[in-house]
Amino acid sequence: MVKVGIIGGSGLDNPDIMKDAKEIKVKTRYGAPTSVLTCGSIKGVDAVIIARHGKDHSIYPSKVNFRANIMALKEQSCTHILASTAVGSLREDIAPGHLVFPNQFLDHTRKRETTFFDEDVVMHTPMAEPFCQNLIDLLSSSSDALGFEYHKNKTVITIEGPRFSTKAESHMFRSWNADVINMSTVPEVCLAREKKMHYAAIAMSTDYDCWREEEESVTWEMILETMKKNAGNVIKLFLDVIPKLKEYDDLCVK
């Protein structure tokens, strides 16, 4: 049985796409998730939506209880996770408004709980392919059909935040072959992997970070404005991809 967990990111904290929506408040052994769970169905597929930064967007990236969020989705029997996230672009061709479906990450976070396996069991989770390639391909073919500009199989670097990068950092991340930058994909994808859920990020490019000389350096207002303008595309993509998950069975998570 396919059940999709949707993690709404900045500018998409509360996508209104659910039928027969019911809000439930849960608690996990790692604490409460960052929002109530909105449960229902989307085009015939059972779904649960969680707001990564709270429904009122009041929770800083470093304060997000990623373990509680992933655990809550697992306890609701979610098999797949589609996570929306705003990203800064480190590449000329990834323009604001474009979608990005990363297949690799670089972890530049510093103070987050990044594993479920830190207590009574030693476990080294394979992370060579952290994202679900089948979901990436599905998101890409839907984006083709919908006529959206997108970039697949890119590398996202997650920084601790809440501050943005310096120019020196931004140039360094480019030299590390990172394509986009955000504050939320790690450890979310790692935790989903540990719980054996298929995970893909739907990243919306909102700005050029601060490496591009001819561009104004990123501000929070810029991010929100681009997200607001393009949130409709992410929602259309959700609505197109989610029903396709029904015929979905893959072996990417072992």
Q: What angle do CA 207, 200, 77 make, to 5 degrees?
A: 135
What's phi and psi for 22, nearest 5 deg? -135, 130
Beta-carbon-side half-sphere exposure of residue 76 (alpha carbons within 13 Å): 29
Q: 137, 209, 240, 250: which is the annotated catalytic residue?
A: 209
CB of residue 133 to Zn ion, shortest distance in Å:
7
- What are φ and ψ of residue 231, in 5° steps? -60, -35
Has 56 been annotated as catalytic?
no
Integer Cα distance of 64 and 112 in angstroms: 9
Question: Of 56, 120, 207, 250, which residue is the catalytic one?
Answer: 207
* 217 SS3 class: coil
Active site residue 107: no
For Zn ion, which stretch binds (CB under 5 A), given 90-98, 106-114, 132-140, 223-231? 132-140
Among positions 231-250, residues that touch Zn ion (CB under 5 A) are 250
Q: Which of 51, 99, 132, 157 binds Zn ion (CB under 5 A)?
A: 132
Segment 145-204, which members bind Zn ion (CB under 5 A)?
198
Residue 81 in the binding site for Zn ion (CB under 5 A): no
* 139 binds Zn ion, rule: CB under 5 A: no
Beta-carbon contacts of residue 114 (< 8 Å; ≥ 6 apart): 107, 186, 187, 190, 191
Q: Which is nearer to Zn ion, 14 or 134 (CB)?
A: 134
Cβ proximity to Zn ion, 137 vs 215, nearer residue: 137
Residues in the interface with Zn ion (CB under 5 A) total: 5
| Candidate ranges 44-52, 64-72, 124-132, 239-247; the one touching Zn ion (CB under 5 A) | 124-132
Beta strands in the chain (DSSP E): 3-8, 19-24, 37-42, 45-51, 80-89, 99-108, 150-159, 180-182, 198-207
- Nearest-angstrom CA–CA distance, 221 and 201: 22
Q: Which is nearer to Zn ion, 2 or 94 (CB)?
A: 2
Q: Report if residue 137 touches Zn ion, rule: CB under 5 A.
A: no
Just list the catalytic residues.
207, 209
